[in-house]
Amino acid sequence: MEISARQKIIDDLLPKKFGAKGRIWALTLVIVCLIGMYAYYRQLSKGLIVTDMRDYASWGIYISNFVFFVAISLVGSLITAVLRIVHVNWSTPLTRIAEIIAVSAITFASLIIIVDMGRPERFYNLFIHGRLQSPILWDVIVITTYFFISLLLLYLPLLPDFEIMLKAKAGGGKFLRGIYSFLGSFWKNTPQQIKISEKSVRILCITIIPVAFAIHTVTSWLFATTYRPGWDSTNFGAYFISGAFLVGSGAVLVAMFIFRYMYDLEKYITQEHFDKMGKIVVMLALVYLYFNLNEFLVPAFKMKKTDADHLLGLFRGEYSRVFWFALTTSMFLPILILVFRKGRKPVPAFIAGVLVVVGSWFKRYVIVTPTLLHPFLPMYDVPDSYKHYFPSWEEWAIAMGSLAGMLLIITLFARIFPIIPIQETISEIEEHEKV
Amino acid sequence: MKKYKYYTLTGLIALQITGACFAQTEKKELILGLSYINDNNQVQYLKANTKAKVEGKFRQISGIPVSFYIGSAVPANLLGKAVTDEHGLAALPIPASARDEWNKSSSHSFLVVSDSSVSYSAATTSIDLTKARIRLDTAADKKITAVLVEQKGADWTPVKGVDMKIAVKRLGGDLDVSETPTYTTDSLGEAHADFKLLNLPGDATGNLVIVAKVEDNDLFGNLSTERTVPWGTSSGFISDYDNRSLFARASRAPLWLLWMATSITISVWIVIFYLFVQIWKIKKLGA
């Protein structure tokens, strides 16, 4: 490859300072986070009574958010690990986007669980007195493990880029160069270093797949091991994993479009990428639809007395609007858009991605809350507020704050580090030229 | 003609309203029952039960005040008062203050009186009773002898021809000791039963409670006597608190779970640790 072509790629992919739009976006996220922090301060000082959660709906949008974060974090394993192992090279520009989504999502999954605790200062008891028999402890173990593996999978492929960024004096400031120097100044691109790095990434790619499956299966078991209408299902592990791959891929579609537009990356994130990611989303949506059919059609066919209230509440009762909205936006519409070639162009694909992400968030809400409000033993002699759930403003603020926090991590990452792997892109083009 | 029609109709309505206003509610007849109970030769008591026909069916009536008397219904013979519970029953232990009256004779009359109320008419009923008791003996070969004796003057004499029940006391009722449901006392006042129940769970040390009963006898009322015998099997509580199970406390997790979870977690963390070592190696190579 010519030096000028190589330099062009480096110039294109080096992190850039925020423009006006970027600053407004980051500032907006910071403000939403601050509002969320204030709401959490109120919750800490006044207790969980500021939420609308009561004896029955003891898991509200915090847990819906937790499941959403865990789900979206699975995309790291799909795009980076699965596609890398099967030598799908077109996904290279998307790997870092997927990995930073995974790391930021799993970070906030851990945080939102603490937010859901009435007495967070007692969190350490989970480690001291945790019962290994409890899926909650499995979740703690597997989330921690997945966080470190995702972090390593983000960090190791970044090493060659640190050398490039240090040479190119990227970032513009002493502070950022200090970060690059601390994290990767030891990378000299020697054959031995490359060999160790590639081997480590291969090991990571293999390791992350079972851990990723475990993290979401265990999350599904938090529900499925509880004997309640709507959760008492052997289908839950596969149902959750298929849904997680779908929402993660939808998020990648959205992020691809935004980074492509904001950083002028049309040459690197091409229409072909949207076309292929679109096909993957259609396939995942169909798989998820299949599991949804299993999840709802089978119990609805039998309509056992204990399940009937819950199911009818979803199909045509109190939760029908949010239920059908979630199904339509997370599956039906994206399939309709992306199944056609024209729908896999950047703009329609972006819209489909947004629909998937929004619909999937509501889908988690539908999984968590309606079941809690349909216990096996009828609600008797309880205050009226126990029978319904609608999040308080503090809950909304904290939930939105956590989502904004996740986006802020991605935004800041894209400001500090190259969002498309520079060295890998150069290597792939060089290999392509050789062929 | 039409005018007369209206007059007639108005008159009929007025009659109906007047009738409804001045009609008195008819009092229901209260049926009063009385029984005497002597459990295990301890404090004897009287039990009244109240019934009335409500909507064509006999129902127990709660909240009825009743007064118990010995001999005759005069204030000097009042034993006590009680109010019927939700099952229509009111019980009164024979008070210590009635000891002298009780000791005067071997037979007594008891009365229960309910005064007239808004809904129910007054009612009175009485029973005549001869003092009696049951003695219960057991032999090592699991033979049970129950003896019924009545007081005659200063003596206690056997009673012949009274049906008696001999059973094992269980939580939900009595379990017959053999296939014979009742036993009749002989000329010695004795009823004999063989204990034929095998491997019947008893308490922690295998003890069972044998009970001999005379129920609703016209002369003696309700009598019963109990005796504890070691004829059952031990059913001591076996705690599973220390067993390893999915539902036990943290330190009693099943071994298979501990082994699986720990080995998987350690394996994955060995890989993570190995990767940190690889990063350290890369760093060393670049130093």
User: Domain of B94: which CATH number?
Assistant: 2.60.40.10
pLDDT of residue B4: 64
Q: How far, CA to CA in Å, does A120 sit from each of A111, A217, A402? A: 10, 25, 16
Instruction: Look at the alpha carbons of A353, A358, A364, A367 in this order and tell me if their dihedral is positive or negative.
Output: negative
What is the DSSP code string of A164-225? HHHHTTTTSSHHHHHHHHHHHTT----HHHHHHHHHHHHHHHHHHHHHHHHHHHHHHHHHHT
Kindly list the residues from chain A whose CB atom is less than 8 angstroms away from the CB atom of residue B249: 131
Contact call for A199 and B261, based on CB within 8 A: no
Contact call for A138 and B261, based on CB within 8 A: yes
Å between B282 CA and nearest CA of chain A: 5
Å between A128 CA and nearest CA of chain B: 10
Q: How far, CA to CA in Å, does B268 sit from each of A75, B265, B271, B280? A: 20, 5, 5, 19
Outline where A303-382 has alpha helix (H): 305-315, 320-327, 333-338, 346-372
Contact call for A145 and B268, based on CB within 8 A: yes
Neighbouring C-beta atoms of residue A235, cutoff 10 Å: 14
pLDDT of residue A284: 96
B104 and B74 within one domain: yes
pLDDT of residue A305: 87
What are the tokens at B251? 């330190």
Name the pairing type of β-strands B89-93 and B45-54: antiparallel
Cα–Cα distance, B18 to B23 (Å, whole number): 8
pLDDT of residue B165: 95
pLDDT of residue A194: 93
Nearest to A414 by CA among A54, A99, A7: A99
Contact call for B250 and A132, based on CB within 8 A: yes
pLDDT of residue A78: 77
B117 and B41 within one domain: yes
Nearest CA in chain A to B259: A132
Nearest CA in chain B to A182: B283
Contact call for A133 and B257, based on CB within 8 A: yes
Å between A187 CA and nearest CA of chain B: 6
Instruction: Look at the alpha carbons of B56, B61, B65, B71 in this order and tell me if their dihedral is positive or negative.
Output: positive
Residue A225 has pLDDT above 70, yes or no: yes
Residue A92 has pLDDT above 90, yes or no: no
B137 and B222 within one domain: yes
pLDDT of residue A126: 85
CB A157 within 8 A of CB A424: yes
Å between B267 CA and nearest CA of chain A: 10
Contact call for A186 and B287, based on CB within 8 A: yes
CB B134 within 8 A of CB B146: yes
pLDDT of residue A29: 97
Residue B63 in any domain: the answer is: yes
B6–chain A Cβ distance below 8 A for any pair: no
B153: left (phi over 0), alpha (psi -120 to 50) or beta: left
Nearest CA in chain A to B265: A141
Mean per-residue pLDDT for A359-376? 93
Nearest to A396 by CA among A30, A101, A35, A29: A35
Residue A188 CA to its chain's centroid (Å): 33
Residue A345 has pLDDT above 90, yes or no: yes
Nearest to A110 by CA among A75, A81, A77, A73: A73
Residue A168 has pLDDT above 90, yes or no: no
pLDDT of residue A1: 63
Cα–Cα distance, A375 to A229 (Å, whole number): 7
CB A26 within 8 A of CB A411: yes
Domain segments of chain A as ranges: 229-250+259-370
B136 and B124 within one domain: no
Residue A3 has pLDDT above 90, yes or no: no
pLDDT of residue A361: 95
What are the tokens at A165? 């960024």
Cα–Cα distance, A328 to B127 (Å, whole number): 80
Contact call for A132 and B249, based on CB within 8 A: no
Å between A211 CA and nearest CA of chain B: 8
Contact call for B286 and A186, based on CB within 8 A: yes
Cα within 13 Å of Cα(B157), Cβ side: 8
Cα–Cα distance, B104 to A294 (Å, whole number): 84
Contact call for A156 and B279, based on CB within 8 A: yes
Question: Where do we find the tokens 């030229």?
Answer: A433
A253-267 pLDDT, tens per residue?
A: 999 999 999 999 999
Cα–Cα distance, A266 to A259 (Å, whole number): 9
Contact call for A186 and B285, based on CB within 8 A: yes
SS3 A108: helix
pLDDT of residue A380: 83
Q: End-to-end CA distance of chain A: give it in Å, rounded.
A: 13
Residue A75 has pLDDT above 90, yes or no: no
Contact call for A188 and B269, based on CB within 8 A: no
pLDDT of residue A171: 61
Q: Which of B257, B279, B285 sits opposite A132 (nearest CB)?
A: B257
B155 burial via Cβ count (<10 Å: 0-12, 13-18, 19+)? exposed
Residue A268 has pLDDT above 70, yes or no: yes
pLDDT of residue B3: 59
Name the pairing type of β-strands B208-217 and B221-229: antiparallel
Q: Which residues pair with B169 in a beta bridge?
A: B174
Contact call for A133 and B254, based on CB within 8 A: yes
Å between A386 CA and nearest CA of chain B: 29
CB A389 within 8 A of CB A369: yes
Nearest CA in chain A to B250: A131
Residue B71 in any domain: the answer is: yes
B169 and B93 within one domain: no
B183 and B144 within one domain: yes
Mean per-residue pLDDT for A236-249? 94
Q: Which of A131, A167, A181 to mutate to test the interface with B (most CBs of B within 10 A)?
A: A131
pLDDT of residue B182: 92
Q: End-to-end CA distance of chain B: give it in Å, rounded.
A: 126
pLDDT of residue B9: 67
Mean per-residue pLDDT for A356-385? 91
From first to last of its 287 residues, what are the pLDDT tens digits of chain B? 555 666 666 666 666 665 555 555 578 899 999 999 998 878 789 999 999 988 888 999 999 999 999 988 889 889 999 999 999 999 999 998 888 888 888 999 999 999 988 889 899 999 999 999 999 999 988 999 999 999 988 889 999 999 999 999 998 889 999 988 899 999 999 999 999 998 899 988 899 999 999 999 999 999 999 999 999 998 777 888 899 999 899 899 999 999 999 999 999 999 999 999 999 999 999 87
pLDDT of residue A260: 94
Kindly list the residues from chain A whose CB atom is less than 8 angstroms away from the CB atom of residue B250: 129-133
What are the tokens at A225? 């091991």
pLDDT of residue A394: 96
CB B184 within 8 A of CB B164: yes
Residue B284 in any domain: the answer is: no
Contact call for B282 and A159, based on CB within 8 A: yes
pLDDT of residue A428: 84
How much of chain A, in percent, has pLDDT values that exceed 70?
A: 99
CB A91 within 8 A of CB A265: no
How would residue A351 be classed by pLDDT, with cut points 50, 70 and 90? Answer: very high
Kindly list the residues from chain A whose CB atom is less than 8 angstroms away from the CB atom of residue B265: 141, 145
Q: Which of A129, A145, A200 to mutate to test the interface with B (most CBs of B within 10 A)?
A: A200
Contact call for B268 and A192, based on CB within 8 A: no
Kindly list the residues from chain A whose CB atom is less than 8 angstroms away from the CB atom of residue B273: none
Contact call for A185 and B286, based on CB within 8 A: yes
pLDDT of residue B2: 56
Strands in chain B per DSSP E: 30-39, 45-54, 57-60, 65-70, 78-83, 89-93, 107-114, 123-130, 132-138, 143-152, 155-158, 163-170, 173-176, 183-184, 190-194, 208-217, 221-229
What are the tokens at A243? 């849904």
In chain B, which among 219-278 make CB contacts under 8 A with chain A? 246-250, 253-254, 257-258, 261, 265, 268-269, 271-272, 274-275, 278
B146 and B115 within one domain: no
Cα–Cα distance, B259 to B271 (Å, whole number): 18
pLDDT of residue A176: 87
* Domain region containing B92: 30-130
Contacts of the segment A265-274: beta carbons below 8 A, 24+ positions apart: A265/A12, A265/A13, A265/A93, A265/A419, A265/A420, A267/A12, A268/A12, A268/A13, A268/A93, A268/A420, A268/A425, A269/A93, A269/A94, A269/A420, A271/A345, A271/A346, A272/A90, A273/A90, A273/A93, A273/A94, A274/A344, A274/A345, A274/A346, A274/A349
Contact call for A129 and B250, based on CB within 8 A: yes
CB A96 within 8 A of CB A129: no
pLDDT of residue A51: 95
Nearest CA in chain A to B283: A186
Mean per-residue pLDDT for A354-373? 95
Contacts of the segment B159-164: beta carbons below 8 A, 24+ positions apart: B159/B132, B159/B185, B159/B189, B159/B220, B160/B185, B160/B186, B160/B187, B160/B189, B161/B185, B162/B214, B162/B217, B162/B220, B163/B214, B164/B134, B164/B191, B164/B212, B164/B213, B164/B214
Kindly list the residues from chain A whose CB atom is less than 8 angstroms away from the CB atom of residue B248: 133
What percent helix, strand, coil does chain A show, rounded to 5?
80, 0, 20
Cα–Cα distance, A417 to A169 (Å, whole number): 13
Contact call for B247 and A132, based on CB within 8 A: no
Mean per-residue pLDDT for A162-179? 83
Contact call for A152 and B274, based on CB within 8 A: no
Residue B123 in any domain: the answer is: yes
pLDDT of residue B110: 94
Contact call for A200 and B275, based on CB within 8 A: yes
Nearest to A339 by CA among A292, A266, A288, A285: A285
Mean per-residue pLDDT for A99-111? 94
Task: Count up the domains in chain B and report the number.
Answer: 2
Å between B239 CA and nearest CA of chain A: 20
Contact call for B281 and A186, based on CB within 8 A: no
pLDDT of residue B118: 85
Q: Which of A136, A139, A141, A186 to mutate to test the interface with B (most CBs of B within 10 A)?
A: A186
A414-426 pLDDT, tens per residue?
A: 999 999 999 989 9
Q: How many CB pairs under 8 A join A and B?
A: 68
A119-163 pLDDT, tens per residue?
A: 899 888 888 888 999 998 999 999 999 999 999 999 999 999 999
pLDDT of residue B17: 60
Q: Which of B249, B261, B283 sits opposite A186 (nearest CB)?
A: B283
CB A53 within 8 A of CB A59: yes
How would residue A329 be classed by pLDDT, with cut points 50, 70 and 90? Answer: very high
Nearest CA in chain A to B267: A207
At which of B102, B130, B158 does a domain end? B130
Look up residue B272 and give its amino acid: I
Kindly list the residues from chain A whose CB atom is less than 8 angstroms away from the CB atom of residue B278: 196-197, 199-200
